[in-house]
């Protein structure tokens, strides 16, 4: 993917899919060959869950590799993480309370041309072997950055203004309560409209570190400014289908594009959800991605 959005700037992105998976009967034999044990005792024991987690991750790796989507099983202390590959990780924030269900996070590399087909292919592989269990402890994260370089200071400041200006507008647009403490709305730090206006006016004279501190005290906010070279939108809901994954990517790209295109961003007088959706829709159309935007997934 390389989307022209402003002065020839190409924007690249990657997606993180937090998934709670339950093995389907039709793929149990394949999983068992990798060490999976399907009984209540093993699903409840720490050792059994660890073995099953490994088997699930190995199965996903084999299936991705088979369709020329090279991947890598990753552990927290792994020395060599290759971010040009799909990453398959255990996510400790996903619930462990549902017996027979296992939390897996899929981390994409930078996605290029044909990315809608790639996401469909990946999620079809998952859904062929597993039920994606709906759960509030999971979510979808989208990372955005200019292709081949970090955000410039001017771009970073412009995006920061957009994040603040639209901070209270996005909450009713995506009204579902936060999955947990890992994706709080940024405006919880400054709920007053006057505070938001003052932050926007101050951004141009602040350093990047000062802006980060004002907008997201740490990485656990909807808009996370702390990743190296990227900006992360953490608020999208759990992905249950490839169409939802496409929607969350396009929504994020459209917001970033809109923020960059509009020099004077102001806090709206009122939260006009219909107008906000229309602005996002128009931006997605400019990007040639409106086909994948579906606001029914935001309810």
The pLDDT tens digits of the residues spanning 75-118 come to 766 668 898 999 999 888 898 889 999 999 999 999 988 999 99
For 112-149, write each residue's pLDDT tens digit.
Answer: 889 999 999 999 999 999 999 999 999 999 999 998 89
Tell me the pairing of strands 9-23 and 101-107: antiparallel
| Nearest residue to 139 (alpha-carbon basis) of 174, 186, 99 | 174
d(CA 70, CA 177): 35
- Using the predicted structure, report yes or no on whether residue 226 has a pLDDT greater than 50: yes
pTM (predicted TM-score): 0.94
């Amino acid at each position: 993917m390389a989307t022209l959005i402003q002065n020839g700037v190409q924007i690249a992105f990657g997606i993180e899919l937090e998934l709670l998976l339950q093995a389907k009967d039709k793929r149990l034999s394949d999983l068992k060959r990798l060490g999976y044990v399907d009984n209540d005792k093993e699903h409840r024991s720490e050792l059994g869950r660890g073995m099953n987690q490994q088997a699930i991750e190995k199965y996903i790796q084999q299936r991705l590799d088979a369709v020329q989507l090279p991947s890598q099983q990753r552990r927290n202390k792994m020395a060599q993480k290759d971010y040009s590959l799909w990453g398959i990780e255990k996510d400790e924030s996903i619930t462990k309370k549902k017996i027979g269900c296992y939390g897996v996070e899929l981390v994409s590399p930078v996605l290029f041309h044909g990315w809608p087909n790639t996401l469909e292919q990946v999620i079809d592989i998952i859904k062929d072997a597993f039920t994606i269990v709906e759960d509030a402890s999971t979510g979808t994260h989208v990372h955005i950055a200019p292709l081949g370089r970090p955000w410039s200071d001017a771009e970073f400041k412009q995006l920061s203004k957009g994040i603040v200006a639209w901070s209270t507008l996005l909450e009713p647009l995506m009204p579902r309560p936060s999955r947990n403490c890992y994706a709080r709305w940024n405006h919880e730090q400054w709920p007053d409209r006057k505070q938001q206006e003052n932050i926007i006016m101050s951004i141009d004279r602040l350093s990047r570190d000062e802006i980060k501190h004002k907008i997201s005290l740490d990485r656990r906010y909807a808009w996370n400014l702390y990743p190296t070279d990227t900006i992360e939108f953490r608020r999208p809901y759990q992905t249950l289908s490839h169409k939802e994954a496409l929607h969350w990517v396009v929504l994020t790209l459209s917001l970033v594009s809109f923020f960059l295109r509009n020099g004077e961003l102001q806090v709206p007088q009122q939260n006009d959800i219909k107008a906000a959706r229309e602005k996002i829709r128009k931006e997605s159309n400019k990007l040639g991605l409106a086909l994948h935007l579906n606001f029914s997934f935001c309810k």
